[in-house]
A and B are shown apart, each in its own frame.
Chain A
């Protein structure tokens, strides 16, 4: 299909942008501070960073403000912003075993190293609308913080610890399926190299790390519901922050700050391929910026499904999963449908009208023939 460009409309487009600002500001209420967004819309900021592919909480908060809270649009703004910057460094490989644990749970084992820590979660809440939030004041916040702070004894503080992972215990017992030596383990960067299918696992993990949460969830859910082969258990899910180290131009490895991440190891059992062979567990892996349980769980499921290619099942088809969970591209393509397609449509219209005219002519001809035939 060919495209015909349109021109003009500059004033209307400019006025439309102005109107967006008008609707954002017309009620003349107190402007939202970026710190408020970063602090009180923490999970939205995390989503924008994760899907925008750039860890920058303040900038993600600005994008959310600019996009009036539309997470897709904000992530799009962040993706566009990252293209304006030079990539000067590659970090040392982050080590999730160094995680400062804020949340750590397992659905597979009741007893895990260091115990199950719920951390900040709404998992066990009833999702009842809290209308008390309407009248929340700065004093209320202060009072809450004072009461919260008083709940620990500062004279008896435990020392910060890191914990062994559940999968390390499974590995020690020899319960995990060995690495497939035939799998493509090359490290590729999908922001520099167009993805080709079948894609190496590194490309699949990178694409999923910046994929759209809802898209990953739809695919992961389809597999669990039976349109795929994987229905795993959460081996371990962790959320917290960890150090990022970067080599400086003199060659020294430097601590450069910390990032928040969520990580999931999803356990599935696989039956043995050969008779009398022992079945093993396989692990699907999920990792993303910020706190986002749903994303890493589904990433873990899809990591497993894509390792068993099957074009008959959407969740097992790499191309289907990776292209359709790429939120920014999907959003861009969907929204391009709103742009002028006048010539395409006129051409379709013209074809249909011609067909209708031809049909009418044929019918007229047939009618005339029938009349002639009936007259002696």
Chain B
């Protein structure tokens, strides 16, 4: 699973499903919490889309977490006050770097969640598309 996709899925998927899945596979690993999930801030950098002038848009509440899973470090960083999600993100980050580990169950879960997220996005997008407008000028038919 491509790293960005993995993070994207963990950040956007249903929290209950994520927690249940991680809880179910956690016993198979040796987990040490280096930094328990805690909130902090991230300054969001933006740029004017015309002249590419960089500027700071404002901060975003962020949760960070650091784990060691089977001697492999894993980091979680996600927006919001999201201790469970952030822990899961760090957990996935660590296990995806482990060698000789069967990740088929993990990939299956992530793929399943990815399809659900994509479907939800598509549905929202299609609702939004219903508001597409083509104003005619008064002298036009």
Which residues of chain A have a CB within 8 Å of any CB of chain B? Answer: 49-50, 53-59, 82, 85-94, 96-97, 100-103, 110, 115-120, 148-149, 151-152, 154, 157-160, 165, 167, 171, 176, 179, 185, 187, 189-191, 201-203, 205-206, 209-210, 243-244, 246, 248-250, 252-259, 261, 263, 265, 283, 285, 287-289
Contacts of B61 in A (CB 8 A): 54-56, 59, 85
Which of B3, B41, B59 has the most CB atoms of chain A within a 10 A radius of its CB?
Answer: B59
- Closest chain A residue, CB of each to CB of B43: A90
- Could you say which of A85, A101, A249 contacts B75, with CB atoms under 8 Å apart? A249
Known contacts A54-B61, A88-B40, A255-B4: A94-B77 contact under CB 8 Å: no
Which of A49, A89, A115 has the most CB atoms of chain B within a 10 A radius of its CB?
Answer: A89
Find out whether the CB atom of A151 lies under 8 angstroms from the CB atom of B46: no
* Interface size classification for chain B: 35 or more
- Closest chain B residue, CB of each to CB of A102: B128
Bitwise interface map of B from 55 to 75 toward A, beta carbon under 8 Å scored 1, else 0: 111111110101000000101
Provide a sorted-by-A list of 8 A–B residue pairs whose CB atoms are within 8 angstroms: A54-B61, A89-B41, A96-B49, A116-B132, A202-B55, A206-B57, A209-B58, A256-B78
Bitwise interface map of B from 70 to 107 toward A, beta carbon under 8 Å scored 1, else 0: 00010101111100000000000100000000000000
Within the complex, the shortest CB–CB distance from A259 to chain B, in Å, comes to 6
Find out whether the CB atom of B62 lies under 8 angstroms from the CB atom of A89: yes
- Could you say which of B4, B41, B50 contacts A176, with CB atoms under 8 Å apart? B50
Contacts of A187 in B (CB 8 A): 54-56
Bitwise interface map of B from 33 to 61 toward A, beta carbon under 8 Å scored 1, else 0: 00000011111111111110111111111
Find out whether the CB atom of B54 lies under 8 angstroms from the CB atom of A117: no
Find out whether the CB atom of B40 lies under 8 angstroms from the CB atom of A158: no
Find out whether the CB atom of A86 lies under 8 angstroms from the CB atom of B40: yes
CA of A49 to CA of B59, assembled, Å: 9
Segment of B14-22, B24-32, B108-116, B119-127 engaged in the interface with chain A: B119-127
- Could you say which of B50, B59, B127 contacts A53, with CB atoms under 8 Å apart? B59
- Could you say which of A90, A91, A265 contacts B49, with CB atoms under 8 Å apart? A265
CA of A117 to CA of B124, assembled, Å: 13
Find out whether the CB atom of B78 lies under 8 angstroms from the CB atom of A257: yes
Find out whether the CB atom of A259 lies under 8 angstroms from the CB atom of B127: no
Known contacts A256-B7, A256-B78, A285-B49: A116-B133 contact under CB 8 Å: yes
Find out whether the CB atom of B75 lies under 8 angstroms from the CB atom of A160: no
Find out whether the CB atom of B129 lies under 8 angstroms from the CB atom of A158: yes
Contacts of A93 in B (CB 8 A): 45-47, 54
Known contacts A115-B134, A116-B132, A157-B123: A89-B77 contact under CB 8 Å: yes
Within the complex, the shortest CB–CB distance from A225 to chain B, in Å, comes to 25
CA of A128 to CA of B27, assembled, Å: 59
Within the complex, the shortest CB–CB distance from A116 to chain B, in Å, comes to 5
Question: Which 3 A-B pairs rank lowest in CB-CB distance, beginning with the nearest?
Answer: A257-B79, A56-B61, A55-B60
Find out whether the CB atom of A101 lies under 8 angstroms from the CB atom of B62: no
Find out whether the CB atom of B62 lies under 8 angstroms from the CB atom of A246: yes
- Closest chain A residue, CB of each to CB of B81: A58
Known contacts A55-B61, A58-B80: A206-B55 contact under CB 8 Å: yes
